[in-house]
Amino acid sequence: MTFLQALILGLVEGLTEFIPVSSTGHLLAVAKLMRLELTPFVTSFTIYIQLGAILAVLVLYFKKLLLNRHNFFNVVMAFIPTAIIGLVLYPFIKKILLESLLTVAVALIVGGLALIIFEYWFKKQADKNKPLSLRRSFIVGICQALAVIPGVSRSGATIIGGLLLGINRQTIVEFSFLLAIPTMAAATGLDLIKSDFNFSNNEWLMIAVGFMTAFGSAILAVKWFIAFVSKRSFVGFGWYRIAAGLLILLFLL
């Protein structure tokens, strides 16, 4: 991996992690386009640079998570399903799912259709303003667990699940940001333990480059997304996902 490749992947991670387009799917696709072999290190790199995006959320939402007891316990409750599924399926996720661009393409297309259908058919439900209870948080966590499939989008699954439960857009979008902190930290920590810290100095340098780039770009993406959802629907993201999925299928052919 070169410095430029690490920079590009960090930028992609930061810009796509918190919007419903699947950061993992984009990272895998961009790595392929750059003819970057999906070695164990590259796969780990795509996981570790998520810490940069996590740090961005911590900087922006520190008070809402750690100083708000209600938010804290809701995040813990929502994290439980993902933690269980991620731990059980870790070998399958990393060795099989994270190496399949076909899986990414299909998930992008199906997720795009789901976003479009949701906006057209469930708008009344989405406009409700039900509070985030522990029960609803747990259900949102189950929805997020679907994102172990590359291309599904962690934020997309979380947001759609919350909107279907009647939680308003800005509330569930911000909750998806908060829920990303334990989810992505756990995924990174698990992978770090499994890898035995077995990276060269150059590989650690590439991780640092990706981390810092992801941090800076994620701050910009989060602020933009909050402003976006207050005025517009997710239909545009749906069409984008479908186009991206079709492009990947063409690339595979």
Nearest Cα to Cα of residue 108 among 22, 233, 19:
22
Residue 66 predicted with pLDDT over 80? no
Question: Which tokens hold the place of 114?
Answer: 């789901």
Helix spans in 20-100 (H) = 23-33, 40-48, 50-66, 69-95
Task: For residue 50, name the pLDDT band (cuts at 50, 70, 90).
Answer: confident
The pLDDT > 90 percentage for the chain reads: 19
User: What's the mean pLDDT in 73-81?
Assistant: 90
pLDDT at 9: 95
Residues 143-159, buried b or exposed e (16+ Cβ, 10 A)? bbbbbbbbbbbbbbbbb
Domain total for the chain?
Answer: 1
Task: Give the residue with greater pLDDT, 92 vs 160.
Answer: 160
- The domain of 29 spans 3-252
Place of tokens 């909107």: 163
User: What's the mean pLDDT in 221-248?
Assistant: 88
Give CA–CA dist 111/147, Å, rounded: 11
Residue 212 predicted with pLDDT over 90? yes
Task: Give the residue with greater pLDDT, 48 vs 213.
Answer: 213
pLDDT per position as a tens digit, 12-29: 999 998 888 888 778 888
Q: How many residues does the chain have?
A: 253
pLDDT per position as a tens digit, 95-146: 555 667 788 888 899 989 988 888 777 665 545 678 888 999 999 999 888 8
> Which residues lie below 8 Å from residue 204, measured CB to CB, with a gap of 6+?
none
φ/ψ (deg, to 5) at 133: -90, 175
User: What's the mean pLDDT in 40-58?
Assistant: 84
Give CA–CA dist 50/212, Å, rounded: 10
In one-letter notation, the amino acid at residue 114 is A
pLDDT per position as a tens digit, 137-193: 999 999 888 877 877 888 888 888 888 888 888 888 888 888 888 887 877 777 677
Positive/negative CA dihedral, 219, 222, 226, 232: positive
CB atoms within 10 A of CB 61: 18
